[in-house]
Structure 1
């Protein structure tokens, strides 16, 4: 029982430490990632229409934004509790359904993009 209480307390502390990001944060993160990765205007126009192609630059863009939202880490990928804290507990089933272990053939950027595609298709908004 004590172990459960300690684990539950750690879970609460981890979630309490997460600060939900705003729409303004999202816009700023998108712009920062676009600039740092030097996203071409043609590709950015696709992003603005929620068309995120399966290419290396887009993979990097998705991971960049996830890092800025603090919902991604290199070891575990997307952190389900933090995604749920950001997008709502009602999205938790969709989140858990979509998050996969890293395929050893993928870069971490491809891993982030693949998980994001599933999240997006299951009603979790693009970050």
Structure 2
């Protein structure tokens, strides 16, 4: 799977994704740090990449229709410290192997993942 890792996630997230066999690039490595959300979304769409982010604005299906993207994965976590986020991402990897994200919005919470199409 091709993924874009948002700037609000630790760099280690991209490395975890790569180790699992995914093609993961980061917003920061592409020089897009600080760019507005619509710009990030447009780059993801143009590159055919799903976006992995902590930015809950991407959960707004009126602004970012899941069907227009290769996938939107929004992490809504009570804690956002590095170790905790990495632990949740490790659990997310197993789900990425079994479930399709293309054209869907995944809301990742501590105990569940909600999916909207």
Instruction: Give the TM-score normalised by structure 2.
Output: 0.28
Instruction: Give the TM-score normalised by structure 1.
Output: 0.26
| Structure holding more strand per residue | 2
